């Protein structure tokens, strides 16, 4: 039995960093209700990667509407679930909007965002996974999603910078910032256990975890 006071954990990070995989493993660990993004449902996404300027607003509004609908269902889910784990923080939706939308589109987006997220639940802990662009690109190629072949390194650079700025200023919940470049929390049980202990130990403020390799 794990000793913790966590009811709602969010795993976050840029495209390809492994947030969904970690959320699923934590879900198994805690016996959780899982709230996961289904990116592939977005009918505008491939068009966005083909022509970002043309499809940015429709792509972003679809994600926003879908995520807020999921959060509504999440609030109505089984209150006896011991822990709830998600692979997205609704607050970060703005990051993609800021990177992809022009000024007039962003004004419209902000009006919709403010209306839909007025009572969004706050997590007890955010686990923010970081990795450099070259690592993200390797992982994106490895998982082989067709539409992701169009993702450019410049776009990932923008996202990484936006994430770093956002979480530098994030104060709504305790936040564990993880260097995920070398750690393999899916296939390596020692890496996972090391990360799990850091998660359980993060009680307030920001905490940084730079995993050390085990001696052979």
Q: What is the pLDDT of residues 76-119, one digit of tens each?
A: 765 666 788 999 999 989 999 999 999 999 999 999 999 999 88
To the nearest 10°, the Cα dihedral for 83, 192, 138, 34?
-10
pTM score, whole prediction: 0.90
Where in the chain are the domains?
8-209
Rounded-to-integer distance, Cα 142 and Cα 29, Å = 25
Rounded-to-integer distance, Cα 175 and Cα 10, Å = 9
Residue 87 designated active-site = yes
Rounded-to-integer distance, Cα 48 and Cα 53, Å = 7
Q: Which of 3, 28, 41, 87 is catalytic?
A: 87
Decide which of 1.10.287.70, 3.30.365.10, 3.40.50.300, 3.20.20.70 is the CATH code for 8-209: 3.40.50.300
Rounded-to-integer distance, Cα 162 and Cα 158, Å = 6
pLDDT at 213: 59
Q: What is the pLDDT of residues 115-134, one digit of tens each?
A: 999 888 899 999 999 999 99
């Amino acid at each position: 039995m794990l000793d913790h006071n966590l009811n709602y954990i969010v795993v976050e990070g840029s495209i390809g960093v492994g947030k969904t995989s970690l959320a699923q493993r934590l879900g198994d660990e805690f016996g959780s209700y899982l709230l996961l993004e289904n990116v592939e449902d977005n009918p505008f996404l491939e068009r966005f990667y083909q022509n970002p300027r043309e499809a940015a607003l429709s792509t972003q509004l679809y994600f926003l509407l879908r995520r807020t609908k999921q959060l509504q269902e999440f609030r109505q889910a089984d209150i006896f679930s011991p822990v709830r784990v998600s692979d997205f923080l609704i607050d970060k939706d703005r990051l993609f909007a800021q990177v992809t939308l022009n000024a007039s589109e962003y004004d419209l987006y902000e009006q919709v965002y403010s209306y839909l997220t007025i009572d969004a639940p706050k997590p007890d802990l955010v686990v923010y996974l970081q990795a450099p662009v070259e690592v993200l690109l390797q992982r994106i190629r490895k998982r082989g999603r067709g539409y992701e072949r169009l993702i450019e390194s410049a776009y990932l650079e923008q996202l990484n910078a936006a994430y770093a700025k956002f979480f530098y200023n994030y104060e709504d919940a305790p936040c564990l910032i993880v260097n995920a470049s070398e750690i393999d929390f899916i296939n390596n049980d020692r890496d996972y256990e090391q990360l799990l202990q850091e998660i359980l130990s993060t009680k307030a403020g920001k905490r940084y975890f730079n995993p050390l390799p085990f001696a052979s």
